[in-house]
Amino acid sequence: MSHLIAPSILTADFGNLQRDVEMINKSEADWIHVDVMDGMFVPNISFGFPVVTAVKKHATKPLDVHLMIVDPDRYLARFKDAGADSITVHYETCPHLHRTIQAIKELGIRASVAINPHTPVALLEDIVADLDMVLIMSVNPGFGAQHFIEHTYKKLADIKAMKRRYNTELVIEVDGGVDEHNIARLVEAGADMLVAGNSVFSQVDKIGAIAKLKNA
């Protein structure tokens, strides 16, 4: 399958969010990535249920909701009701990860786990068979427009081997510093879905930037 592109609205123009969502609708993007931050797990605050609901109202592409928050179990159903088609929780915030993943699946949406740059892929071995997606963070979470961490390629090789062994349907997603210069190598290393923020929204021709990433 061709790789998937999920523009991150964290770097969109919040004053013209409907316009930017409609731009993504018209583009070759596959998903819309929605970063939810609580100022506790990461040193930034983004948005919550009302904004997700507003985005869903205008989006024709599914919402890939990434919860960078503590105690995500409290909010899974509310984010699903707000419009999430996929929910990603962080390994680092879930002491009972199997229970959390099952709770997401019971909501009838895609269940995903993210790991920070310092978290070894090996820690996912006991959960990967139950997942729809794994998100490899290639920057430290919390802010857009950060520099890509090169060790990500090694982590992709590790999760790709785990995918072959335990779950061939697993989607491998990469988030952070993705651009036209590294996307081909990321796909070759095993990435199935690429989150693109600054590399899309900093461009004058945003639809063209998405097309370039999609066809890299």
How confident is residue 142, by pLDDT bands cut at 50, 70 and 90? low
What was the pLDDT predicted at 144? Answer: 59
Residue 175 annotated among the catalytic residues of the structure? yes
- For residue 162, the Cα-to-chain-centroid distance in whole angstroms is 19
With a cut of 90, say whether residue 161 has pLDDT above it. yes
Residue 71 annotated among the catalytic residues of the structure? no
How confident is residue 24, by pLDDT bands cut at 50, 70 and 90? very high
Q: Which of 35, 38, 132, 192 is catalytic?
A: 35
Q: With the C-alpha atoms ordered 6, 144, 85, 189, is the resulting torsion angle positive or negative?
A: positive
With a cut of 80, say whether residue 50 has pLDDT above it. yes
The percentage of residues in the chain with a pLDDT greater than 90, rounded to a whole number, is: 92
What was the pLDDT predicted at 184? Answer: 96
The CA-CA-CA angle for residues 78, 82, 87, to 5°, reads: 70
Q: Which of 20, 64, 132, 175 is catalytic?
A: 175
Cβ proximity of 81 and 58 under 8 Å: no
How confident is residue 145, by pLDDT bands cut at 50, 70 and 90? low
- For residue 103, the Cα-to-chain-centroid distance in whole angstroms is 19
191/146: higher pLDDT: 191
What was the pLDDT predicted at 147? Answer: 81
Question: Which class in CATH covers the domain with range 4-214?
Answer: alpha beta
What was the pLDDT predicted at 117? Answer: 95
With a cut of 60, say whether residue 1 has pLDDT above it. no
Q: How far apart are CA 118 and CA 121, in angstroms?
A: 9
Arithmetic mean of pLDDT, 143-159: 86
Cβ proximity of 139 and 147 under 8 Å: yes
Q: Is 16 exposed, middle or buried (0-12, 13-18, 19+ CB in 10 A)?
A: exposed
- Quick check: helix, strand or coil at residue 88? strand
Domain boundaries, the chain: 4-214
45/30: higher pLDDT: 30
Cβ proximity of 111 and 132 under 8 Å: yes
Give the mean pLDDT of the chain.
95
The H-or-E segment that residue 198 falls in is: helix 198-201
Give pLDDT tens digits for 69-114. 999 999 999 999 999 999 999 999 999 999 999 999 999 999 999 9
